Amino acid sequence: MALILEGTKIRDQILSELRPRVEHLTKTRRPPGLAVVLVGNDPASEIYVRNKVKACQDLGIHSEKLTPPASVSTEELLATLDCLNRREDIDGILVQMPLPPQVDSRKVLLAIDPRKDVDGFHPYSVGNLVANAPGPRACTPAGIMDLLRRYEIPVKGKRAVVVGRSDIVGKPMALLLLHQHATVTICHSRTSNLAEECRRADILVAAMGRAAMLTADYIRPGAVVIDVGMNRVTAREEAARILRNDTARMDAFDKKGQLLVGDVNPLDMASISSAYTPVPGGVGPLTIAMLMSNTVGLAEEHIK
């Protein structure tokens, strides 16, 4: 039976280890500070930001949520970031994506002080990642590496395949695996013979945002599968295809009216892999935990 890699358990471990560090900072100087900028009222972004703010409150991290209107201009947003850059009580700045179309996202990203780049997306942070130098790492890939380490899943010498080449997950994931001495292949929508490439993986990371796209044909028996996807399926026909008309699972779908599924078929992943991250409860909980870790780490650097 495959080992279920529980992200919730690892999240709790990470937060538990952060708590005394936050208490020490608070007693000796000041609590770490995180500012989250949420433009407009996108429902998914609002939920995500709410969870970030709650995590800060639970740990004793000072958090501020700034909510410019959806009509905000690039210049107005840059002025907000300039103020946050100057504040000594703010250690990390996070601008929730996506931004409205009139805002130049590239300019906004570059405007964040690299010393406060809690997401690890600034070119300066990316350069540190490439060079394997200290600095904040993109939260989701960093969380995955922590998950592998804590579950004692070997990476050194293993063949890793990352499906997806985004700046947020795919590219930093590949670099982090490479730094741990894996042999890494990055696949994407233009990759020829994708299934063949994936079947070579000892560690398969799926991060392309397509519901249950990777099936049994893509998984080498005994591989470790990390499913980063989070897709909401509402069409019954698609749910039936993914769940293979399993009666119990389809009854659950009919009650909820939706199915939350990753980028890998959940039935195939559970039956073929040696270990896998479930959806939900796998990679998702790690992202906010690593955001908290980055915030505390930046605060410790600033206070030094």
Give the pLDDT of residue 45.
83
To the query of whether residue 255 is one of the catalytic residues in this protein, the response is no
Task: Please state whether 287 falls in left (phi above 0), alpha (psi between -120 and 50) or beta.
Answer: alpha
Neighbours of 37 (CB within 10 A): 22
* Predicted local distance difference test score (pLDDT) of residue 304: 80
Give the number of other CB atoms < 10 A from CB of residue 87.
13
CATH of the domain spanning 139-285, picked from 3.40.50.720, 3.30.1490.20, 1.10.486.10, 3.30.365.10: 3.40.50.720
Give the active site residue among 91, 117, 119, 263: 119
| Each residue's pLDDT tens digit, 41-72 | 888 788 888 999 999 999 999 999 999 999 99
Q: Which residues of 262-288 are buried (b: 16+ CB within 10 A; e: fewer)?
A: bbbbbbbbeebbebbbbbebbbbbbbb
| Listed residue (117, 125, 137, 139) closest to 284, CA to CA | 139
Check if 96 is active-site. yes
Determine the Cα–Cα distance for residues 292 and 108; give it in Å rounded to an integer.
22
Note whether 29-118 and 139-285 share their fold: yes
210 vs 220: CA distance, rounded Å: 20
- The pLDDT score that the predictor gives to residue 142 is 98
Mean pLDDT value across residues 169-187 = 98
CA separation for the pair 73, 60 (Å, rounded): 33
Instruction: Reply yes or no on whether 58 is catalytic.
Output: no
Domain 29-118: give its CATH architecture: 3-Layer(aba) Sandwich (3.40)
H/E stretch holding 7? helix 7-28
The reported pLDDT for the residue numbered 43 is: 81
Residue among 269, 260, 207 at smallest CA distance from 231? 260
pTM: predicted TM-score of the whole model, two decimal places? 0.95
Q: Is the pLDDT of residue 8 over 90?
A: yes
Residue at token pair 């300019």: 107
Q: Give the integer Cα–Cα distance in Å for 235 and 167.
A: 30
Query: pLDDT tens-digit profile of 81-126?
Result: 999 999 999 999 999 998 999 999 999 999 999 999 999 999 999 9
Q: Write down the domain spans for the chain.
A: 29-118, 139-285
The answer to whether the beta carbons of residues 148 and 191 sit under 8 Å apart is no
Task: Name the catalytic one among 91, 96, 116, 146.
Answer: 96
Catalytic member of 52, 116, 158, 171 = 52
